[in-house]
Structure 1
Amino acid sequence: MKMGYKGTDRMIAGIVFGVITFWLFAQAIVNVGPAVQADLGIPLDTRNIAVSLTALFSGLFIVSAGGLADKTGRKKIAYLGFVLSIIGSSCLVLSQGAVLLIAGRIIQGLSAACIMPSTIALMNAYFEGKARQRALSFWSIGSRGGGGIASFAGGAIASSFGWRGIFVFSIIFAALGMILLWATPESKRDSDEPFHFDFAGLSIFIVTMVALNIFINFGAAFGWTSGRTLGLLATILIGFAAFVKVERNKHNALLDFKLFRSKPYAGAAASNFLLNAVAGTLIVANTYAQVGRGFTAFQSGMLSLGYLVAVLAMIRVGEKILQRVGARKPMQWGASITTAGIAMMGLTFLPDLTYT
């Protein structure tokens, strides 16, 4: 480790605050979606687009932000993420309509793209062995536990201070994260190799994912057999094929498909995809609980308490299991449990008490 004990603890706390502020704006808006829609007087489709934009822009730029962090400095990109988080959350606090709401969500997505890879890279840079496993456990508490924390806290904050209060807290958490990371030395990749950014791959990826987002959100409104919907579908299929072709022939590819030839890597990617899918199902479940079942924001937040308790309890337990049996079995168990949980959330025909 490159820092003393107190320094590492401050760094870990700052990183956890940074990851949680991502979840405060990414996940908590789910609990207050109906209130945001009613307060701003926006259509349902616009609200759904605003909710999804953060994840979309985070996914679009997270790989490139990670590469930039390795080249220019991980702390520097983490700080950029904190600043973008504050700007994006401020847009939501001040919003009076769709414009600032959508702008804020886009900026918050860019913030997440900066914060997530740079903070985990800082953990890897300054810790090794069991100390790294401990540090990554705390990162996971902020990341995975943050979903449950934000869902519950978002409902509680909204009930007391209104939905804008969530993003005031997000600003506070981002500011605290910046203060705690202040003394952390800069970290970057030790390499003289020039950094070449894959603009072609990123451009194709952006067009494809934006088309997919529009297709999912507006396909039914356009009509599934309409020219616009079929055009979007063609764009998605052609974009995906072009992306695979371009990336396979590039040395500095945005996504190196050769990595997926490794079964452990492919399995880890699939497990992580399932874990992130939980966030998507929580969005649907929270919206359904409020719109379909008449729950308040606080009540729907309470539904995530079981998820929160399980995540916080099992992260450190999982760390010990990992040390004892290795990574493969815990990933298999986790993927199976996640699949069963998502399947059970789809049983919406059950009565209120049984479903919840």
Structure 2
Amino acid sequence: MPGGGAPTASRAGGVLAATCLSTLVVNANTSAVTILLPAISADTGTDVTTLQWAVTGYSLVGAACIITSGSLGDVFGRKRVFQLGLLLFVASCILIALSTSGAGVIVGRLIQGAAGSTILACGLSLLSVANEGEAQLRAVSLWGAAAAVGAAAGPLLGGVLVELTGWQGLFWIDAGVAVVCMVMTYATVAESRDPNRSHSIDYAGTVLIALTLAPLILAMSRGSAWGWASVATLGCLALSVASAFAFVAVERRVSVPLLDLALLRNRVLVGSTIAILIGAGTINALMYLVSLYFQNPDALGFSPLQAGLATLPATAGLVAIAPFVPKLAARIGGRQLVAVGFLLSGAGFALVGLVDPDWRYGRFLLPLVAVAVGMGLSNGPASSASTACVPENQVGSASGVSNMARYVGASVATALAATIYGTVIADRTAQGLPASDAMASGLGAASWVMAGISFAGFLAAFLMGRRYREAQGTLGDAAAAAAAHTHTLPTTASGTVTGTATETSPV
């Protein structure tokens, strides 16, 4: 749980309502956007390859800001920073809804990445300090359930709104909900800070995270057009590598680092973080790919509403499997369940890799369910292990590492999938293949890469080792498992590791 301060005098019910509603709308917005991309493309005249920055840019900024925003809340006031996040979210929604160009949408989504990560980080902190004991566990569990429901319902909600209001409707409604959250927060939430925390904020680390990811994603997105050995591509990669080294150097010197490099000696945390990165990356890549393929007239030709319904087995499957995950992990072992989950997800992606232009939706149903169930099996135990393998005073830092990894995975894997998909389609079209064949080839190639990455997650499960405590399988643990593909929440295993239960040998 976030540290600092005694429970406030806030009306806990109001805090719960404001934070749960805000996390629901943020996660629904995030997952809905991929469904909107074809409609935004048609309306603005911007190709979907460029519009992938509306997805990857959001995650890129979120990765840079998720830990820093929590630190800002601890120092300057959680309510104040939470309100600032909501205000930025409203502004970004209005900017996107009024945009007549793809550039405006992308800029709005970059702002939204900072806003969303701030709302999630500070909202959970506010909720934690407003409650004690069992009430705190219940409140955080409800917050996790709201996050899971929002993420699962987002694509369907996006599809419905495109049909009824146009793609702009999602952002107008989200802006209105965020304003309601601001009013609720003003009326019911008391200010809180962490009086014991240093006022030092690692702004340099935040900038360097962005400078590491942005050139890398730009190189992956434009490398095919520029040439993979071109000065532009190699320059982007060099800047990314240099920024990564600079980030490590900065983290070694600042008093309160964005990433405590000592945590990287914890083999369990490293393994679970890699698993979280891979899981978040591949599921976001899948949603991007199938949203475009399902709606393309040369593929399935679905409407946005039909596409939202068609992706429901993948999004809802993650939530549906969650109640069973903690008890399964306690019975057979968390790392074993992570390994099984990635094998199942990899198999699902491999099945999609066999796609043929003649496939109808029924052929996609089993692979989508396989990926969803696999992700559900791996996400929960990996997230739980990331906070169970450290002492209580490091739980916040460990959850910050895994949450950053989630954003990094989403941005990089989606960019990679978009690049492969677009490049293969262009190559096959240039070879004279029909559009339907080119589309299927692009989806198949990207899916095979995601299958390979998923199978790499199987290896990450063994890197995790055995030295951490499994969650007990309570209702709160189930909520944490359901929310694990969006945010890391502590479980009944968190902060209970002592002595030899924490593995700190070099990786």
| Residue in structure 2 matched with residue 45 of structure 1 by the alignment | 49
Within a 5 Å distance, the mapping from 1:147-296 to structure 2 comes to: 147-181=151-185, 182-191=187-196, 194-277=198-281, 278-291=283-296, 292-296=299-303
Q: What is the CA–CA distance in structure 1 between the aligned matches of 2:337 and 2:127, rounded to whole Å? A: 25
Q: Deviations over 1:251-310 (max 9, x none)?
A: 322211212323443344344434432234322222232234322211221123224433
Task: Give the direction of change, closer, same or farther, for the CA distance of 1:81–1:127 in structure 2 (3 Å limit).
Answer: same
Task: Give the direction of change, closer, same or farther, for the CA distance of 1:271–1:124 in structure 2 (3 Å limit).
Answer: farther
Amino acid at match of 2:286: T
Give 3-state SS (helix, strand or coil) of 2:138's partner. helix
Deviation at residue 223 of structure 1 after TM alignment: 1.4
Q: What is the CA–CA distance in structure 2 between the aligned matches of 1:133 and 1:334, rounded to whole Å? A: 25
Amino acid at match of 1:296: S
Q: What is the CA–CA distance in structure 1 between the aligned matches of 2:87 and 2:107, rounded to whole Å? A: 15
Deviation at residue 221 of structure 1 after TM alignment: 1.5
- 1:76 matched to 2:80? The reply is yes
Which of 349, 356, 363 aligns to 1:354? It is 363
Which of 105, 112, 133 aligns to 1:108? It is 112
Amino acid at match of 1:123: L
Q: Is the 8 A contact 2:40 2:102 kept in 1?
A: no
Q: What is the CA–CA distance in structure 2 between the aligned matches of 1:167 and 1:331, rounded to whole Å? A: 39
Q: Is the 8 A contact 2:153 2:316 kept in 1?
A: no
Task: Give the direction of change, closer, same or farther, for the CA distance of 1:200–1:86 in structure 2 (3 Å limit).
Answer: closer
Task: Give the direction of change, closer, same or farther, for the CA distance of 1:47–1:201 in structure 2 (3 Å limit).
Answer: same
Instruction: State the percentage of identical aligned residues.
Output: 25
Amino acid at match of 2:363: T
Q: Is the 8 A contact 2:77 2:191 kept in 1?
A: yes
Task: Give the direction of change, closer, same or farther, for the CA distance of 1:69–1:3 in structure 2 (3 Å limit).
Answer: closer
- 1:31 matched to 2:35? The reply is yes
Q: Is the 8 A contact 1:158 1:297 kept in 2?
A: yes
Task: Give the direction of change, closer, same or farther, for the CA distance of 1:308–1:247 in structure 2 (3 Å limit).
Answer: same
Deviation at residue 94 of structure 1 after TM alignment: 0.8
Within a 5 Å distance, the mapping from 1:316-355 to structure 2 comes to: 321=327, 325=330, 329=333, 333=337, 336-337=340-341, 340-341=344-345, 343-348=347-352, 349-350=354-355, 351-352=359-360, 353-355=362-364
Deviation at residue 156 of structure 1 after TM alignment: 1.1
Q: What is the CA–CA distance in structure 2 between the aligned matches of 1:304 and 1:179, rounded to whole Å? A: 34
Task: Give the direction of change, closer, same or farther, for the CA distance of 1:174–1:332 in structure 2 (3 Å limit).
Answer: farther
Q: Is the 8 A contact 1:271 1:331 kept in 2?
A: no
Deviation at residue 355 of structure 1 after TM alignment: 1.4
Deviates more, 1:123-132 or 1:156-165: 123-132
Q: What is the CA–CA distance in structure 1 between the aligned matches of 2:250 and 2:8, rounded to whole Å? A: 42
Gaps of 5+ in 1: none
Q: Is the 8 A contact 2:11 2:188 kept in 1?
A: yes
- 1:309 matched to 2:316? The reply is yes
- 1:92 matched to 2:96? The reply is yes
Amino acid at match of 2:304: A
Q: What is the CA–CA distance in structure 2 between the aligned matches of 1:232 and 1:251, rounded to whole Å? A: 30
Which of 108, 128, 131 aligns to 1:127? It is 131
Deviation at residue 71 of structure 1 after TM alignment: 0.8
Deviates more, 1:112-121 or 1:308-317: 308-317
Task: Give the direction of change, closer, same or farther, for the CA distance of 1:130–1:280 in structure 2 (3 Å limit).
Answer: farther
Deviation at residue 132 of structure 1 after TM alignment: 3.1
Gaps of 5+ in 2: 1-5, 366-507
Q: Is the 8 A contact 1:145 1:311 kept in 2?
A: no
Aligned residues: 351
Q: Is the 8 A contact 1:70 1:188 kept in 2?
A: yes
Q: What is the CA–CA distance in structure 2 between the aligned matches of 1:139 and 1:70, rounded to whole Å? A: 20
Q: Is the 8 A contact 2:205 2:257 kept in 1?
A: yes
Q: Deviations over 1:217-264 (max 9, x none)?
A: 111111112121111122222222222233233332221121232344
Q: Is the 8 A contact 1:92 1:167 kept in 2?
A: yes
Amino acid at match of 1:185: A
Deviation at residue 128 of structure 1 after TM alignment: 4.3
Q: Cα RMSD (Å) of the superposition?
A: 2.8
Amino acid at match of 1:236: S
- 1:11 matched to 2:15? The reply is yes
Deviates more, 1:176-185 or 1:206-215: 176-185
Q: What is the CA–CA distance in structure 2 between the aligned matches of 1:168 and 1:3, rounded to whole Å? A: 33
Which of 300, 305, 313 aligns to 1:298? It is 305
Deviates more, 1:265-274 or 1:49-58: 265-274
Q: What is the CA–CA distance in structure 2 between the aligned matches of 1:65 and 1:131, rounded to whole Å? A: 25
Amino acid at match of 2:154: A
Q: Deviations over 1:137-192 (max 9, x none)?
A: 2222232332221111111111111111111121122123223333022221122x
Q: What is the CA–CA distance in structure 2 between the aligned matches of 1:342 and 1:160, rounded to whole Å? A: 36
Q: Is the 8 A contact 1:37 1:47 kept in 2?
A: yes
Q: Is the 8 A contact 1:22 1:112 kept in 2?
A: yes
Deviates more, 1:300-309 or 1:156-165: 300-309
Task: Give the direction of change, closer, same or farther, for the CA distance of 1:44–1:256 in structure 2 (3 Å limit).
Answer: same
Task: Give the direction of change, closer, same or farther, for the CA distance of 1:69–1:134 in structure 2 (3 Å limit).
Answer: same
Give 3-state SS (helix, strand or coil) of 1:347's partner. helix
Q: Is the 8 A contact 1:148 1:304 kept in 2?
A: no
